[in-house]
Every structure is written in structure tokens, then in C-alpha cells.
Amino acid sequence: MAKFDSKSFNPQAFGAYVERIPNVKKSELAGSGAVGGCENAKNALSGQTGSLYCRIPYSDRISGSTSQNNDGNTDIVSSGTSSYEQGLVVASRMDSWTERSFSRNITAGVDFMDAVAGQIGDYKQQVKQSILLSMLKGIFSMKTDGTDFKSEAAKEFIEKHTYDISANEGTESLVRADSLNRAVQKACGDNKSAFSLVIMHSEVATNLESLRLLKYLTHTDKDGITRDLAMGSWNGRTVLVDDGMPVTETKDGSVYTTYVLGRGSVILDNIGDFVPYEMSRDARTNGGEDTLYVRDRYICGVDGISFEKPESLTGSASNADLAEGGNWCIINDGFKTIPHKAIAIARIISKG
């Protein structure tokens, strides 16, 4: 790799190198299938540098309830499906660092730009996780105080997709062996097998460790040293441990939120900025220093739930915009919403 030098910096080569650097957390998240992209939205937004929002068709699911008996004498009655639209928004992010931002973390014998690329990859994963948690906060904060069908649907979704044991006495308020299974069954019934990813606070993870229910994934580095990762497995689902998870302090102790996501439930895809990487040199500051700039654009959406862009949102969706419940609603055709069981997202609220 090149030196941290604006004259020799190749943004295309650096971007490709960042993508090639192994990132176990990124790989496991991709493997769970819970967080991914949407080709329709990507096609609508990626070719337009300044584009912020799009609406795409959302297909209703056909049902076995329309099956008809074939007695040889009866015409087939064609079944129709409702037409829906889903709103998706772009969250653009940017940052910059000078060489000294990285140097204190580099050990002897490690290529400097290798380490820079690795840290950029970790940084992007953290940014993506913060966007994801903001989106999840938003959909569980949808408006439920109205009398219209949208508010009623939001209320049903939040109630049915929340498994709250925090008010129980003693250890009954903590996650147990059956907590995950009960949460996903309450949310989606016989479609509970669709769930593939769990995101929890380390306090919840510690409780599961004590019960020997959580098995951590390990990573062996090039020197043969094996260490535990902040990722594991619980009842066959990938577990991501993140202390950025919601924690509410009450007079009876801390209350933790754990999210459970199904395959394809969240759309969070980096479609790239027009100038994703660049460097510039400031000859005056600190005797001369080079700065690396990074820009990304993420498509943000939730399967079964539409982001309704407010008029005040004109540039990029901030985490606060994504966390605002009033910006989300269950997908509908103007008269009715899709069934809540079609949305493979749930949460567990516990004291650990």
C-alpha cells in the first residue's frame, strides 16, 4: 500500500482495499441475511448523487386461502393482490482524519496503510450499526395515539412484536432459555423461523453466558492467537453484542432492549458517494499535514414499514430523523395495512 500521502493517494485502489480487509463482524452480519440491500431502491438512488428519497412498489403476498377446487366443471377465478408503495431514505455520512489520528494505534511490523484501511472498515461498521439502531428505535416509536387505521396498525405491531418481562419478579425479569422463542412466536407465529439475528447489550449477553446459552464466535489471527469476538450464537441465531443498545434507568434498576431481526428485514446498503475517498494537504497546519476524507451514502428502509419523508428533511437523514417514530408507518394501500406478522422484527425488554 502507499504512504499516507495526498500526492500518491489513489482513492479507487484505497476503497477497494478497505472492502477487501477481513471484517468478521461484517461477514457474520451479512451471513445472517437480516441486513441487506434493495435492488429497486439502489437503482433509483445510486445514479443520482444528490437524491435523498424514493418510493418503490411493494408486492403483497399471495395466500393459500384463495386455492380453488378443480372438479373439472368450474372456471378458475383469478385472485388479485393489493398494490403498495414503500418509502426509503438516504443517510449520507462523512468524516476525516489526519495521519496522527491513526499512528498511536499502529504496532511495529504492521503496514501503516493496512492498519488505516482496517480501522476505516471498523469505523464504517460502527456507523452502520448506529444507523441500524436508530431505525429500530424509530419503528418501535411509531404514532399510536390516533384513531385511523395506520395508528391502529402501529399499535398492534408494537404490542405483538414486544416481549416485555421487565416487570416480572426476581430472575423472571431476566432473559431465559425460552425468551427468544417466545418473543419471535408472539411476533410472527409460525413464521418465527425467519428470525436470524439478535442484537443485545453486554449485560444481557453476560446473563446468557451464565446460563450457558450464548456461545461466542472466535477469531484466530495470523499469529495463531485465538480470541472471542463480540458476536455469538443463541438458539441458532447470530448474536451481536453492542453496548449502544437502549438502556432505560428506573427506580428498580436498568431495563435493556434486545432486538431480533428476520432475514431481509432491514435495508441498509452503502451505495457510495460520488467522491467516497480523497486526501488533501494543508501545508500550514502543524508544519504540514495530510487529511483523509471519507463519505458514504446509505439506503435506509425496513421491510414492511415505510419511511415517510417530512418536508423539513432536505439533505440527508440524520440518526435523529431515523429514530423519529412519526417518520415511519406500516405499509398500506390507503385503506388497510399489511399484516403485522409479515414484519420479521421483534424486541425483548428485560432487566438483563
Per-residue pLDDT averaged across 162-178, rounded? 95
pLDDT of residue 136: 97
pLDDT of residue 343: 96
Q: Binning pLDDT at 50, 70 and 90, where does residue 161 land?
A: very high
The predicted-structure confidence for 283-301, as pLDDT tens digits, reads as follows 888 887 888 899 999 999 9
pLDDT of residue 179: 96
Instruction: Report which of residues 26 and 143 the model is more confident about.
Output: 143
CA 3, CA 226: separation in Å to the nearest integer? 30
Q: Binning pLDDT at 50, 70 and 90, where does residue 156 land?
A: very high
Beta partners for residue 291, in sequence order: 98, 280
Q: Using CB atoms within 10 A of its CB, is residue 75 exposed (0-12), middle (13-18) or buried (19+)?
A: exposed
Instruction: Report which of residues 223 and 238 the model is more confident about.
Output: 238
pLDDT of residue 51: 84
| Low-confidence winner among 58-72, 80-94, 197-211 (lowest mean pLDDT) | 58-72
The predicted-structure confidence for 270-286, as pLDDT tens digits, reads as follows 888 889 888 888 888 88
Place of cell 435523529: 320
Per-residue pLDDT averaged across 11-16, rounded? 77
Look at residue 108 and tell me whether its pLDDT is greater than 70: no
Residue % of the chain over a pLDDT of 70: 82
- Contact status, residue 41 vs residue 301, Cβ threshold 8 Å: yes
Place of cell 415511519: 328
- Contact status, residue 266 vs residue 230, Cβ threshold 8 Å: no
| Low-confidence winner among 13-17, 144-148, 329-333 (lowest mean pLDDT) | 13-17
3-state secondary structure the chain: CCCCCCCCCCHHHHHHHHHHCCCHHHHHHHHHCCEECCHHHHHHHCCCCCCCEEEEEEECCCCHHHCCCCCCCCCCCCCCCCEEEEEEEEEEEEEEEECHHHHCCCCCCCCHHHHHHHHHHHHHHHHHHHHHHHHHHHHCCCCCCCCCHHHHHHHHHHHHCEEECCCCCHHHHCCCCCHHHHHHHHHHHHHHHHEEEEEECHHHHHHHHHCCCCEEEEEECCCCCEEEEEEEEECCEEEEECCCCCEEEECCEEEEEEEEEECCCEEEEECCCCCCEEEEEECCHHHCEEEEEEEEEEEEEECCEEECCCCCCCCCCCHHHHHCHHHEEECECCCCECCHHHCCEEEEEECC
Instruction: Report which of residues 143 and 81 the model is more confident about.
Output: 143
pLDDT of residue 159: 98
pLDDT of residue 330: 97
CA 223, CA 220: separation in Å to the nearest integer? 8
CA 342, CA 5: separation in Å to the nearest integer? 51
pLDDT of residue 102: 67
Q: Binning pLDDT at 50, 70 and 90, where does residue 76 land?
A: confident
Count of other CB atoms within 10 angstroms of residue 15: 16
pLDDT of residue 18: 74
Bin 169: left if φ > 0, else alpha if -120 < ψ < 50, else beta.
beta
CA dihedral 60, 63, 66, 68 (to 10 degrees): 130
Look at residue 254 and tell me whether its pLDDT is greater than 70: yes
Q: Binning pLDDT at 50, 70 and 90, where does residue 67 land?
A: confident
Cell output for 143: 404514532
Look at residue 305 and tell me whether its pLDDT is greater than 90: yes
- Confidence (pTM): 0.87
Angle at Cα 145 formed by Cα 143 and Cα 151, nearest 5°? 55
